[in-house]
Amino acid sequence: MSNNKHPRLRLPKFTGRILISLVLLVLVIISIQVTQPDMGKLISSFEKGRQITDGLLSPDILEKKSLGSYTISIAVPVPCNSAPQEIIPDEGHRLEIVPGCANPRDLVILNGYDLGENADVNMRWVLPNGKLFSIRTAKTDSSGNLSEEIDVRPITVAVDGIPSRLEIEVFQPGSTYSASKTITDVFNNMYVTIFMALLATTIGTLFSLPLSFLAASNITRKGVVGSAVYYSVRFFLNMIRSYEPLVMASIFALIVGFGNPFAGVLALSVVTAASLGKMFSESVESIDPGPIEALQASGATPLQVVLYAVVPQIVPDFLSFAIYHWDINVRISTIIGFVGGGGIGYFLSEKINTFNYSSAGTAILAIIIVVWVLDFLSSEIRKQFT
Amino acid sequence: MLRVEHLTKVYPNGTVALKDVSFEVPDGEFLVVIGLSGSGKSTLLRCINRLIDPTEGKIFLDDQEITSANSTELRHIRRKIGMIFQQFNLVKRSTVLTNTLNGRLGYANPFLSLLGIWPQADKDMAMAALNRVGIADKAKNRADALSGGQQQRVGISRALMQEPRIILADEPVASLDPVLAHSILQYLEQMNKTDRVTVICSLHFLDLVHRYGTHVIGLKDGMKVFEGAPSEIDRARFKAIYGEEAQEVRATALE
């Protein structure tokens, strides 16, 4: 009978279940008391939630830009014969004044042709001394022509044969789309994040290499000194691994400055060194001891043994782990910005804190895309090593 | 001349693997060590190149005491003692050529070898060794792409690179198909006969003992229970060494 093999107190099944259910119920009640969830709040702030979600879901990606403007002008001799009249071209956007010259306080008609349909136009005088004198704005008609009455004011009298000119600035209607400023910012910050992760992974990997050999029982745990090193390195690695990268990053942000990518690099490097050190050491421990024995027997030095018998066995694992960790680090570094680690996370937290939800939406979209792409890339690359 | 004096090995867990074993191996001998699994054959071979440090006793190569050598002296002694393993012990991901060159590490320039640079002379020597065991065409293959018999031949070419005076062969054919046994042992015999290399080899099959050995040692429970010429070993002796319960071993071996 199994009861004989496990001689311990066994409650009847039914009672046991009721007890477990009671304990669970008590736990749930305690959790509700502690966290005080307020469902009413969730419903009453539905409108606010909707606004935020709308902002996040309409990321700021493209920017409307007008096609630009151009300027043309025509000389207006005031009074007549104070300067020659200009010859008006037959095509292209062009201006004419009727009559061709005027005396002060007269009315002239400014006609414009082929200026572009429904375009906004700024009209102004360019006085002989080069000063601008604004008249008013107008709009071209549906065939792109303009016809406006203009007061000829005494200020426009020609000086030394140089006439005043009537100038119009035409703003072409319609617009093009181009990448918004937010996109540029997100791109720059994402760039920082990816390279922050790459640098951290590189530094972390470099430190993890010696640590991994020291934390591998088959390499290090020999004799009293070896065992002491082995256990202390392992304890050290486990201790660091129990720190969340976020905690680490906020500590480093206090030291090197909030929003400084270097804080993120430091935090991720330490975490990567500890994590890869542990993973690598397990990889070292699982190698085939045969080649080590064979090379020792042939008179190779300990360093040669590591290089020729251990390294070839662990390189594929190491590369694969390191690339995987880069992938993880990009993911973490997007978050690390929130606690001052710099990069896209810092940008995102800034935008959220300033209620700029569509910019935040752009950042979130970028994070999703980058994480997907890296996930795919790293798994593809790792396939090459297995 | 290899001299083993009162060799005893007790493992930390209390297992007595060798108990007061003494014998001499003159140069050029093909010494076969027989005995059940766990009788101490592997421990004996590994004590000779000190992959395992004996608890008591001394081993001399000529007049040099192996058992008291410091690490540098030991590496110089080990260069002269090639070893062949039951499980081949190749670096599976490295090429056949690299595995062969590994046998030369004891002679290599320590700095160049750490950079992975080998002199052309060593490469030529490795190709010659591979040629000798008939797998020169596999030089660029990964070691784990080879069959068991071919892998053991890489093991032999690796040992050849040491230009050894002694070859320790720890059950070199036990992991192989029995029909391949001769194809491997013939290379050991050739090294023994033409290069005058002393061979110390543990074997399981009586016909192989008769065919290749010039001298035989029998181990049982860590003690030397037999020493003599291969011809002295008959069914009765074999049974005494392998024990009453080893009917199958005896039957197979005598077949």
CB contact (8 A) between residue B110 and residue A316: no
Residues A135 and A231 in one domain: no
Residues A100 and A171 in one domain: yes
Distance of residue B178 Cα from the nearest chain A Cα, in angstroms: 23
Element (H, E) at A247: helix A245-256
Contact map slice: B 119-148 vs A, CB within 8 A: none
A130: domain range?
67-176
Q: For residue B246, what pLDDT is reported?
A: 54
Give the mean pLDDT of B174-196. Answer: 89
Q: Is the pLDDT of residue B196 over 50?
A: yes
Phi, psi of A174 (to 5 degrees): 85, 170
Judge whether A91 lies within some domain: yes
Contacts with A304 from chain B: Cβ below 8 Å: 105, 108, 110, 113-114
Residues A234 and A346 in one domain: yes
Q: Which of A124, A158, A176 is the last residue of a domain?
A: A176
* Residue B124 confidence class, pLDDT cut points 50, 70, 90: very high
CB contact (8 A) between residue A294 and residue B102: yes
> Average pLDDT over chain B, rounded to whole?
89
Contacts with A309 from chain B: Cβ below 8 Å: 91, 102
Residue showing tokens 């600035």: A169
Q: For residue A3, what pLDDT is reported?
A: 46
Q: For residue B217, what pLDDT is reported?
A: 93
How many domains in chain A? 2
Q: For residue A68, what pLDDT is reported?
A: 73
Q: Which residue of B has its CA nearest to A291?
A: B89
Task: Extract the tokens encoding A227.
Answer: 């065992």
Judge whether A51 lies within some domain: no
| Inter-residue contact B103 to B158 (CB < 8 Å) | yes
In a 3-state reduction of DSSP, which class is residue A365?
Answer: helix
Whether A222 contacts chain B with CB within 8 A: no
Q: What is the CA radius of gyration of chain B?
A: 18
Whether B108 contacts chain A with CB within 8 A: yes
Q: Which of A149, A176, A203 is the last residue of a domain?
A: A176
Q: For residue A241, what pLDDT is reported?
A: 86
Tens-digit pLDDT string for chain A (386 aa): 444 555 566 667 788 889 999 999 999 999 988 888 887 888 888 888 888 888 888 887 777 666 677 888 888 888 887 777 877 887 778 888 888 788 888 888 888 888 877 888 888 888 888 888 888 888 888 888 888 888 888 888 888 888 888 888 888 776 677 777 888 888 898 888 888 888 999 999 999 998 998 888 887 887 788 889 999 999 999 998 888 888 888 888 888 888 788 888 888 899 999 999 999 999 989 999 999 999 999 999 988 998 999 999 998 888 888 888 888 888 888 788 777 777 888 888 888 888 888 888 888 888 889 888 988 888 888 777 66
Characterise A319 by phi-psi region: left (phi > 0), alpha (psi -120 to 50), beta (else). Answer: alpha
CB contact (8 A) between residue A288 and residue B92: yes
Name all domains of chain B by residue range, CATH numbers in brackets: 2-80+164-254 (3.40.50.300), 95-162 (no CATH)
Q: Which of A210-219, B8-17, B237-246 has the lowest mean pLDDT?
A: B237-246
Phi, psi of A176 (to 5 degrees): -115, 165
In a 3-state reduction of DSSP, which class is residue A165?
Answer: strand
**Residue B202 to residues A15, A319, B40, B175, Cα–Cα distance (Å):** 66, 40, 10, 13
Q: For residue A28, what pLDDT is reported?
A: 93
Whether B118 contacts chain A with CB within 8 A: no
Q: Which of A176, A197, A217 is the last residue of a domain?
A: A176
Phi, psi of A356 (to 5 degrees): -95, 75
Q: For residue B187, what pLDDT is reported?
A: 93
ipTM of predicted complex: 0.90
CATH code at position A185: 1.10.3720.10
Task: Extract the tokens encoding A314.
Answer: 């662990």
Contacts with B92 from chain A: Cβ below 8 Å: 288, 313
Distance of residue A223 Cα from the nearest chain B Cα, in angstroms: 13
Contacts with A303 from chain B: Cβ below 8 Å: 110, 114
